[in-house]
Amino acid sequence: MRVDVVTIFPDYFGPAAGVGGPLGVSLIGKAAARGDVAFHIHDLRQWATDVHHTVDDTPFGGGPGMVMKADVWGAALDAILSDKSQSSANPSLPWAATPSTPSASPVPSVTGARLVVPTPSGVPFTQEMALAYAGERHLVFACGRYEGIDARVVEDARARGMAVDEVSIGDYVLAGGEAAVVVIVEAVCRLLPGVLGNERSVSDDSFGGGGGSMHGLLEGPVYTRPRAWRGNEVPAVLLSGDHAAIARWQRDEALRRTAERRPDLIRRLAAADGLDARDRAVLIQAGFPVDGESMAH
């Protein structure tokens, strides 16, 4: 997979030498070192044409703040999407230190890359989206700042056949899209084949993106040695060796935790007929209403 990130703060993702930074550590850094994913970080200002490298201007129609310019963003995306020389690159460093060379040539309709624009006004980013992105060959992230990117950038990309997603990682506002990109990239890259040491971890994740027993639920509590700590014992069922009983306990705990913290997910499961009789009994015992009328509210 190739991942391009366009930002006015390239150092956010690590120094130019490609050592350290949030994309160069842990499992994601190891995946990059193996060549499973190639990161390319681009400074948006290199496509600004004035002496001050201006990337923003006042909004038409008035209002506070500044808007990132369509012509600068368009030039950046044109250059990246027409950069055939790096499309199959396998750099030895976690990401390429040298950005693409700006190109004045027009870019034809693009179908091999997906543009992802983090924005508070986007659709919520989910585990299902992370799974879908993990199947892409080329992701391009546009890190907005100020009041956002001129809307014509997204409109133009879609008009030329590029898949474009405007996504939000939560109901809050950040200073820019860089932090959101790190979140999305980590969620996606950990799903690539060979990145996790145990592939079963995906199916046991919260939200159960891998289609396992946790599908649509938050993951329940987990434990490890020592068996007793400060007077607290590990639940006996986890020491029983009875795999069916353990699996049922884990789902019961996931149901209780999800009902307490994310009742909307329980309602979604109920609406999709994703709760069996035991699930409903556990939820009723936990004080969560599961009748049709209550679940609708």
Each residue's pLDDT tens digit, 127-182: 999 999 999 999 999 999 999 999 999 999 999 999 999 999 999 999 999 999 99
Closest-CA residue to 137 (of 209, 40, 210, 38): 38
Q: Where are the domains of the chain?
A: 2-189, 213-295
List 63's β-bridge partners, or say none. none
pLDDT one-digit tens code per residue, 16-44: 535 468 998 899 999 999 999 999 999 99
pLDDT for the residue numbered 106 = 45
Q: What is the pLDDT of residue 196?
A: 83
Residues of the chain where predicted confidence (pLDDT) is lower than 70: 16-20, 84-111, 197-206, 208-211, 291-297
Output the 3-class SS for 6-23. Answer: EECCHHHHCCCCCCCCCC
CATH topology for 213-295 is Trp Operon Repressor; Chain A (1.10.1270)
Is omega for the bond preceding 91 within 30 degrees of 0, making it cis?
no
Residue 14: the pLDDT is 83
Residue-level pLDDT at 108: 42
Which pLDDT does position 203 carry in this prediction? 55
pLDDT for the residue numbered 93: 29
Instruction: Please give the CATH topology (third level) of the domain spanning 2-189.
Output: Alpha/beta knot (3.40.1280)
**Cα 91–chain centre separation:** 23
pLDDT of residue 248: 97
